[in-house]
Amino acid sequence: MSTSSSTKDTVPDPAGADVPAVTAGEAPPAVRHLVSIDDVTNDDMRALFEHADRFAADPRAFADTCPGSISASLFYEPSTRTRLSFESAMLRLGGGVLTAAEMTSSSVVKGESLADTIRVVGGGYADVIVLRHPSEGAARLAAHYSPVPVINAGDGSHEHPTQTLCDLYNLHVERGRIEGLDVVLAGDLRYSRTVHSFAYALARFGANIVCVPQPGFELPDYVVHRLYEEFGVNPMRADARRLGALASNSDAVYLTPQKPHQLSLFTDARGWEVQQVDAVYMTRPQTERHPNQELSETAYLRLEKRAMAAESLRDAVVMHPLPRRDEISPEVDADPRSIYFKQAARGVPIRMAILAWLLGRLPVGEITGSFEGGIGSPVPAGPNPCPNPSCISRTEARHVAPRLRLVEREPLRGVCAYCNREIPFTVVGCSSSGIYHAPDSPSVRQILDEHIVLLESATVAEELGFRAAVVPGAR
């Protein structure tokens, strides 16, 4: 079928036609979104916590904050706490709520794309959209299309920024600070989106992280790499014997934002000794995201009363994003250090603050946000280079054109603009000249960002019609 001249890209329809790709229509600059924890600064978080304190003191006193505003809950995955706390928050602010909690009864089953759903709902039905989606990068795609604020309520195993703000707010309430705290992250660290967002935020505040993973479910390499590259976090082996039963079957890792020279006197081969910790953050096995992997829940990490007797946990609060299965014994519920039900309750005031901020109802200038709006450059040629099968650019391949975001030019590094997964490549093509080069070639520096094509191999490059660069002096 034909496309209008305003549509920049098309993606092939399996039937042979072209359909519009997701490339047009930047969100208005004035619209703020909460897609990632990166969209709020540390000062923004502190301001949100102060407002949450006010809302928590008397949640019924703020019904005049957002009168007439409507929030739409678009949940493509099950949720109890996140959805209900957002809806409670909007109602307490004096607004209304539209709920699509079971998207199988929506037009999604007829093949409607996420982008179209967002444009319809944001085009007149609601003033803010709360989105949960199984595909990583879905919230960034939605924000690209939405004329109203989009809040990421979880996208695959990628991020869950409002849960992170809730978790940080609980540390703020219980400990009075976040800077310098020692926090244990335990359980399924590979697929837990709450853990990924939480780790980034803790690093930004200068907290130390002790990873106690379920064996085989360690923190993903791309998360560890980002913690090192962006926050100066140095991973090292941890001696977690003082954690007792909690870490008895886990290879613990210590992640600290301290500078290497501050650790230069550390020589113990057993690893950095974990002494006292301020919080233990347990996570359930994210079995819905385990691809072709079986995990025996009987062998999963479990926090029991005897584990809480460890001297290093004497003053540690116990947190959990919920729902839980068996990873925290019910007998721990009565322990005054267990705050996971308080943690869930505090989701309402912090989400009241988030909604009021995004709807422009908090004092101007107190909270700025840092969302930049764009989602990178369209990949100008070749197959989708994103290696993540759960990325929105793969799960909605008919509607979503792959996009690239360059994070470095020397050395050249690019990530998927939706899910932030690093793109592997061995040669670099130029879509303008049709020539491919070795990554270290000086010619690569001359290619404009929008013409760069990261290609798996020279063979793939030639199959796509690229020609090898002529090397001077070669015969």
* Catalytic residue annotation: 81-82, 110, 132, 160
What does DSSP say about strands 272-273 and 253-256: parallel, antiparallel, or unpaired? unpaired
Q: Which residue shows structure tokens 């759960």?
A: 390
Buried b (16+ CB within 10 A) or exposed e, 437-451: beeeeeebeebeeee
Residue 347 CA, chain-centre distance (Å), reads: 18
Residue 217 CA, chain-centre distance (Å), reads: 17
Strand partners, 211: 185, 253
Rounded to a whole number, what is the largest CA-CA distance in the chain?
Answer: 80
For residue 108, the one-letter residue type is: V
What would the two tokens of residue 162 be?
């409002």
Number of C-beta neighbours around residue 298 at 10 A: 7
Torsions phi, psi for 58 (to 5 deg): -155, 80
Buried b (16+ CB within 10 A) or exposed e, 328-340: bbeebeeeebbbb
Q: Which helix (H) or strand (E) holds 437?
A: strand 435-437
Residue among 343, 421, 58 at smallest CA distance from 172: 343
What is the rounded distance in angstroms from the CA atom of residue 362 to the CA atom of residue 38?
20
Number of C-beta neighbours around residue 108 at 10 A: 16
Residue 411, preceding peptide bond in cis (omega within 30° of 0) = yes
Task: Check if the beta carbon of residue 328 is closer than 8 Å to that of residue 302.
Answer: yes
Ramachandran assignment for 372, one of left (phi > 0), alpha (psi -120 to 50 degrees), beta (any other): alpha
Catalogue the long-range contacts made by 235-240 (C-beta closer than 8 Å, 24 or more residues apart).
236/263, 236/266, 236/271, 236/272, 237/270, 237/271, 237/272, 238/210, 238/211, 238/271, 238/272, 238/273, 238/274, 239/268, 239/270, 239/271, 239/272, 239/273, 239/274, 240/210, 240/212, 240/271, 240/274
Task: Check if the beta carbon of residue 192 is closer than 8 Å to that of residue 214.
Answer: no
What is the rounded distance in angstroms from the CA atom of residue 33 to the CA atom of residue 385?
27
